[in-house]
Structure 1
Amino acid sequence: MTDGANGLGTDADAETDPTDPTDVTLIGHRGCAGRHPENTVAAVERAAPHVDAVEVDVRRCASGELVVVHDAKLDRLTDASGRVADADWEELRDLTVLDSAEPIPRLEGVFDAAPDDLLVNVELKQPGIASDALDAARRAATDVLFSSFHAEALAALRDRDPTTDRALLVADGPPERAVDAATDLGCVAVHPPIDLATEPGFVETAHGAGLAVNAWTAADREDAERLLAAGVDGIIADRWDLSDGLPSRS
């Protein structure tokens, strides 16, 4: 497990292939969605002893609150239908996630549930919520890494507070394009999918620019081993028990 700033820093001069499993950052995807109902307070609480960080997804509901939910629509996660953006918090708070009894939380609820030593990776699902998410993190005094596919969300954070830790999520494209975009935004990390992170030269290019590489989303041991061999700094995973080779506090 890493000891760098937010557990996500990288030394551009360090060896990157393969990664020592004890140095990789383990980030629980949606609070380790393979173990507990995704993006819930219960998932965060139960994953916390086993991971370095938890990743959660945030978007705005109709009444203005920031809610922790991945999908733009409610159909997959709940018995309700329609868009999250069209539902008031009073409606959302009574819904439960998947087949559990766990409700959809507000962002503040996740921050309250996170132990003081747990990094929370907040993925901004919409570009216009960055400032409010930053305010919530400040009120909670929570250690946060903000990530997003939306460059404008990361730019808003950079412009308001350059000291925020930011990571650019990318889905495809050559390493140079992802690294240049992340660098222009003042990011500390880039978050590619597994297939992109394991392409020859991706990790080396990112490290050369001083960026950490945290790859998504490892579902099994094979995924984890591929990422370790590629030299990534962090593994965003649905489970904390992918293999004995992954870092664990348990």
Structure 2
Amino acid sequence: MSAVRTIAHRGCAEQYPENTVHAIRRVAAHVDAVEVDVRRCASGELVVVHDATIDRVADRCGRVADLTYADLADCDVLDTGDGVPTLEAVFDAVPSDLALNVELKETGLADDVAALAGGHDHDVLVSSFLVDALHESRGVAPALDRALLFDDDRETPLDVAAEIECTAVHPSVARCLATPIVERAHERGFDVNAWTVRTVADAERLAERGVDGIIVDRRDLL
């Protein structure tokens, strides 16, 4: 059995403050890649935050799209003493030999993500549940690797991934374990990274299925 890559979901959100430079620095030596979520704030910068609002992770409330970067930088995210980071700050914090998975949480980000990726030496994978966001990425940066995220509800995901010219697919753990999606994806030339893996038992079952990577909230599952 080949080695399975460990991808730190939001920087291993169960162990460290999610989507923060603090988390990336703590987890970098222990994983093969870091995954972060990206949105655009009101002043135009790409910022790293999962939800459409900052209510769950910060000491203030509001929609990311309505807040300037000055507002977001002035927050305290999950008691780190730091604000919401820009994607550029995350690129700078990730060691160049560590891969970076940028999940697009909305459309209209592809140009800026491609520009940042082009200015750094990291292996970059752009992923999204949003087909339009991946279409945009293919249009502005066709050489940038892409991955389609999907759960149990999306039909014909491999056909969709092929249309967008993805190099990988990111199915849910349940989809990987309950269907032959891993084998079928490999037959069509896709890498398979399963999300979000939360138990050792699931990690072992997925490794037996032949997944290429597991997206985890804890770095010590494998």
Same fold (TM over 0.5): yes
Please name the residue that 2:72 is paired with: 92
TM-score, normalised relative to structure 1: 0.85
Please name the residue that 2:94 is paired with: 114
Superposed, 1:34-73 pairs within 5 Å as 34-73=14-53
Contact conserved, 2:114 with 2:141, CA < 8 A, in 1? no
Distance 1:38 1:208 in 2: 34
Distance 1:163 1:62 in 2: 29
Please name the residue that 1:234 is paired with: 213
Percent sequence identity is 54
Please name the residue that 2:201 is paired with: 222
SS across alignment from 1:45: helix
Please name the residue that 2:144 is paired with: 164
Please name the residue that 1:4 is paired with: none
**Deviation larger for 219-228 or 181-190:** 219-228
Q: How many residues align?
A: 222
Deviations 1:106-162 (A, max 9, x none): 000000011110000000001111111111121233321000111111111212222
**Paired letter, 2:41:** C
Structure 1 gaps of 5+ residues are 1-19
**Greater RCO (CA < 8 Å, at least 6 residues apart):** 1
Contact conserved, 2:193 with 2:214, CA < 8 A, in 1? yes
Contact conserved, 1:37 with 1:102, CA < 8 A, in 2? no
Distance 2:69 2:132 in 1: 26
**Paired letter, 1:118:** L
Contact conserved, 1:73 with 1:82, CA < 8 A, in 2? yes
Distance 1:87 1:62 in 2: 5
Which residue among 167, 180, 186 is the counterpart of 1:188? 167
Contact conserved, 1:108 with 1:140, CA < 8 A, in 2? no
TM-score, normalised relative to structure 2: 0.95
Please name the residue that 1:124 is paired with: 104
Please name the residue that 1:177 is paired with: 156
CA-based RMSD of the aligned residues comes to 1.4
SS across alignment from 2:100: strand
**Paired letter, 2:220:** D
Report the CA distance between 1:237 and its aligned residue.
0.3
Distance 1:103 1:112 in 2: 16
Check if 1:213 corresponds to 2:192: yes
Distance 2:45 2:10 in 1: 19
Distance 2:213 2:34 in 1: 12
**Paired letter, 1:145:** L
Superposed, 1:6-21 pairs within 5 Å as 20=1
Distance 1:125 1:74 in 2: 14
Distance 1:97 1:73 in 2: 12
Contact conserved, 1:32 with 1:239, CA < 8 A, in 2? yes
Superposed, 1:143-162 pairs within 5 Å as 143-162=123-142
**Deviation larger for 148-157 or 181-190:** 148-157
Report the CA distance between 1:96 and its aligned residue.
1.7
Which residue among 60, 68, 71 is the counterpart of 1:80? 60
